[in-house]
Amino acid sequence: MTISKSLIHSNSSFSSMVNIICYIVLLFFIVTHLCVICVYNFISLKSSLSRRDYAVYRVDVINSSYESKFSISIDL
């Protein structure tokens, strides 16, 4: 009887230890994934601001919207 109780107790302790290790590993992967995403976004933002592609694209969008409004007003 004593052997079975100690076996159940050790099995429960082992199971909780495995759960804690699994949670720690899962938390580590989540934090690592978020850090990689943040670093990648920061690098891509920095490179896009250095190339100034955004400014050129913004000017193109403004010009195309002006031309489309202008062509619509001519059609009327």
Question: What is the Cβ-side half-sphere exposure of residue 26, based on CA atoms within 13 angstroms?
Answer: 6
CB of 40 within 8 A of CB of 34?
Answer: no
Q: What is the pLDDT of residue 46?
A: 72
Number of domains in the chain: 1
pLDDT in tens, 6-64: 555 556 777 888 899 999 999 999 999 998 998 888 887 777 665 554 455 555 555 55
The answer to whether residue 68 scores a pLDDT higher than 90 is no
Task: Give the pLDDT of residue 30.
Answer: 93
Give the model's pLDDT for residue 26: 95
User: Domain range holding 70?
Assistant: 2-75
pTM exceeding the 0.85 threshold for the entire prediction: no
